[in-house]
Amino acid sequence: MKLYIIRHGETKLNALGRLQGWTDEPLNQNGKDLAIITGEALKEIPFDLVITSPLKRARETGELTVAASEKNFGRKIPIIEDRRIMEFNWGCWEGLGCLENNFEVPDPNYNIFYTDAFHYQGSPDGESVADVMERTADFFNELIANPDYQDKTILIATHGCALRAMLNPLYENRDSFWQEHVPYNCAVTIIDVQNGQAKITAKDKIYYDESLCFDHYKVIDK
């Protein structure tokens, strides 16, 4: 099994520096362009399946990323949705500004989300990072143990926090949740799975101009 795990492309709320979570925001034009560029770079990959978060920005990213592969191989790639790989749920804080120049989050401990994410609790009606780690681990462990997928190549379209939570057990430095930065939009991590054992072979790979990368982690005043 080979997995290509991609963070969604940019959205309007990303560009505005606002918490997005479960808010069902579509890709903006830049987000679509990044997904298309990424897809062109991966057009020789014979994807068998796309598994996506049901949120629009992830599904659109999955569809656009495999479009070139579909054309190249002359076949339609099935897409299935899984709620376990949705983004961190910010609850009543969804849509609030979260950068230094627009900060609106009513949480004096907000920076813990970046500095000590494993212990971040979130809003009263949202999730903790531990919740996201639990549901994404359930998804990932079930996936790599599925006998029907052992010879498949799968694109997984998900979100920044969900991606880091899902792959934390595979990182060399598991004590660093964010791995020094939030995954860039349309960054791809490649996983090889052999006999139920998963290994990262490429981490946070981008296929577009690096000057277009935006690092949320570095702009927060920690």
CATH number at residue 32: 3.40.50.1240
Inter-axis angle of helices 56-73 and 29-41, nearest 10:
30
The boundaries of the domain holding residue 183 are 2-219
Whole-model pTM: value is 0.96
Q: Are residues 158 and 5 in contact, defined by beta-carbon separation less than 8 angstroms? A: yes
Instruction: Give the chain's count of helices (H) and strands (E).
Output: 7, 6
Q: Measured between alpha carbons, how far is 61 from 76 in angstroms, rounded to an integer?
A: 16
Return binding residues. 7-14, 57
Return binding residues for substrate. 7-14, 57
Can you give the pLDDT at residue 6?
Answer: 99
Residue type, 48: D
pLDDT tens figures, 121-170: 999 999 999 999 999 999 999 999 999 999 999 999 999 999 999 999 99
H or E stretch covering 200? strand 197-205
Q: How many domains are contained in the chain?
A: 1
* Alpha helices (H) in 51-195, listed in sequence order: 56-73, 112-115, 129-145, 160-167
Can you give the pLDDT at residue 218?
Answer: 59
Residues of the chain with pLDDT under 50: 221-222
Q: Are residues 125 and 94 in contact, defined by beta-carbon separation less than 8 angstroms? A: no
The residues carrying an active-site annotation are 8, 87
Can you give the pLDDT at residue 220?
Answer: 54
